[in-house]
Amino acid sequence: MPFRFRPLELLGLMLIETQVFEDPRGFFMELYKASEFSAFGLPSVFVQENYSHSVFRVLRGLHYQKRPKAQGKLVRVLRGEVFDVCVDIRRGSPTYGRWTGLVLSDRNRYALYVPPGFAHGFCVLSDEAGVIYKTTAEYDPTLEGGIRWNDPDLGIQWPISDPIVSEKDARLPYLRDAVHDFTYGASEG
């Protein structure tokens, strides 16, 4: 099996380790296989794929898309290193308002599945980073939502003290004021 699926502390988040075949020419690895993801209970259909390139200290997030086009995301770093953060925003969840963070990089080759009901973001730890992610629903600008990266109620411990944040992300609301209707245990999407 080319993938190892590791559930994370916040229910629904899944770290995916990929088997890598290396030799003197380089390496080969499968990035995604519908049958294996589906067998492990993860989505097998992704309808959009995005790529973001960022420089050191850039912080993107914390973003989500509201229903009816809530997005699950399969996130992977193709170049560089990021500190990736997910916040549970599903009302009624035992981990509502809690966050988890982990390093995704071109060296560890991890992928992260982020289901609907989580706000997601990352900050760049390397000189540059290329992040690719597949989504389970197409982006709709009228349904975008977000939470401010430095919400004091969340207390996220970002490894960058002075990040570069877009004006739009700097104006996002705190979780207590954010508009969303995610409910723990409800089918999203």
104, part of any domain:
yes
Cα 174 from Cα 178, distance rounded (Å): 6
Cβ atoms < 10 Å from Cβ of 42:
20
184, part of any domain:
no
186, part of any domain:
no
Cβ atoms < 10 Å from Cβ of 26:
7
Please identify every residue annotated as catalytic: 63, 133
Domain span including residue 49:
3-177
Tokens describing residue 11: 């229910």
123, part of any domain:
yes
Could you tell me the CATH number of the domain that includes residue 103?
2.60.120.10
188, part of any domain:
no
**pLDDT the model gives residue 189:** 46
Low-confidence ranges of the chain (pLDDT < 50): 189
Cα 3 from Cα 15, distance rounded (Å): 10
Q: How many domains does the chain have?
A: 1
40, part of any domain:
yes
Q: What is the pLDDT of residues 7-34, one digit of tens each?
A: 999 999 999 998 889 899 998 988 889 9
